[in-house]
A = this chain, B = another copy of it.
Amino acid sequence: MDFGYSEEQRMLSDSVVRLFAGKETDVWAACCQMGLAGALVPEEFDGMGGLGIDGMVAALEIGRNLAVIPFLSTAAVGMQAVNLTGSKAQKAKWLPQIAEGHLQVSIAFEEPGARYDLDHLETQAVGDGDGYILNGRKSVVLGGDLADLIIVAARLDNGVKLFALDAGAAGITRTDYALTDGRGAADIALHDVRLQGDALLGDGAAVMAAVYDLGAAMIAAEALGALEKIIAMTAEYLKTRHQFGQPISNFQVLQHQMADMAVAFEHMKSLVFEACDLAMSKDAVSRAQAVSAAKILIAEEGRQICQHAIQMHGGIGVTDEYDLGRFVKRVTVAEFAFGDADHHIARYGKHLADTADD
């Protein structure tokens, strides 16, 4: 049993910290140069072959530093979708490009009205000679505004398949926008999009959940990093802010709220660690339960921490000029991306009920 970073993880963490502390103009390019884009890419495809915990090491720093980079969309979930479903040739084509930072990839699994239900899939693929024709709509595709390659889930005959679409292909309409935390996304409409046969990656059903779980774990880790900063900022603010002739950290009610935050944070941290540890595991049940557990705490207790932090800051906490709000918005995005609390509690609870032993 060991809850510390390995030597490699420590090095990765230090590099990311240094990079974010610097004044890079193109942060993602610098990240790619130090290997972050390939952190989770298998070694045989020019990556570092990292696992979920290695991804977490990066995600924590991304959250702590409010970095807006396509690590999650491209280097984690986009990469994993290709890696889990692609043929040897497809992987050889795309994964090294991802690792080098030359290709941005997004997953487009969710659809309007699906509300996190990956089985709710109306996008249709039909055979067309050697290739396929796709029609459908995808919603809130993270990184979809900048993606070069979009991994789309669609029904083909009676199965669910993943396809790799060139973002510039005819028939694709993107509506780009920013999320609450500033990262880009897009709604995507597919109208008679024609694909070559080699755009078919493979079976989607089980893989979608695996990819989605990795995304949930990574964004939970980002939120954990942001929450750590929120708690530290709030403690610091209470110490320096004076009211009624004393630092407001003297007020017992505020002291206890800080203590509540600390209690919640340490427990959340444990679950995020476990979720990330299992985020690339093939054991779908353990992975799903651990990821849902972490995601629920982030959504529920993370939100609580954010609300209390704003409250304890008072007026300054609700201004857009003060950094607190940016961290809070980062956590809020993590609440709603890759399944909200109710989605995960239902998934976790169903498994609990189905498997309760007697």
Residues of chain A touching chain B, judged by Cβ–Cβ distance below 8 Å, are 251-253, 256
Residues of B within 8 Å of A252, CB to CB, are: 251-253
Cα–Cα distance between A259 and B256 once the two chains are bound (Å): 16
Cα–Cα distance between A256 and B256 once the two chains are bound (Å): 11
Q: What are 5 inter-chain pairs, A to B, with CB distance below 8 A?
A: A251-B252, A252-B252, A252-B253, A253-B253, A253-B256
Max count, chain B CB within 10 A of own CB: residue among A251, A252, A256:
A252
Could you tell me the dominant secondary structure of chain A's interface residues? helix
Residues of B within 8 Å of A251, CB to CB, are: 252
Cα–Cα distance between A169 and B256 once the two chains are bound (Å): 61
Residues of B within 8 Å of A256, CB to CB, are: 253
Which residue of the partner chain B has the closest CB to A257? B253
A311 to B: closest C-beta gap in Å: 13
Cα–Cα distance between A251 and B251 once the two chains are bound (Å): 9
A258 to B: closest C-beta gap in Å: 12
Residues of B within 8 Å of A253, CB to CB, are: 252-253, 256
Cα–Cα distance between A256 and B311 once the two chains are bound (Å): 15
A333 to B: closest C-beta gap in Å: 29
Cα–Cα distance between A249 and B256 once the two chains are bound (Å): 16
A317 to B: closest C-beta gap in Å: 19
Cα–Cα distance between A22 and B128 once the two chains are bound (Å): 93
Cα–Cα distance between A253 and B252 once the two chains are bound (Å): 6
A86 to B: closest C-beta gap in Å: 45
A312 to B: closest C-beta gap in Å: 14
Which residue of the partner chain B has the closest CB to A255? B253
A250 to B: closest C-beta gap in Å: 10
Q: Which 3 residue pairs of A and B lie closest in terms of their CB atoms, listed nearest first?
A: A252-B252, A252-B253, A253-B256
Which residue of the partner chain B has the closest CB to A256? B253
Cα–Cα distance between A251 and B252 once the two chains are bound (Å): 7
Cα–Cα distance between A341 and B45 once the two chains are bound (Å): 57
A13 to B: closest C-beta gap in Å: 37
Which residue of the partner chain B has the closest CB to A250? B252
Cα–Cα distance between A352 and B282 once the two chains are bound (Å): 43
Cα–Cα distance between A252 and B249 once the two chains are bound (Å): 12
A313 to B: closest C-beta gap in Å: 18
Cα–Cα distance between A183 and B162 once the two chains are bound (Å): 65
Cα–Cα distance between A221 and B102 once the two chains are bound (Å): 70
Cα–Cα distance between A253 and B251 once the two chains are bound (Å): 9
A256 to B: closest C-beta gap in Å: 5
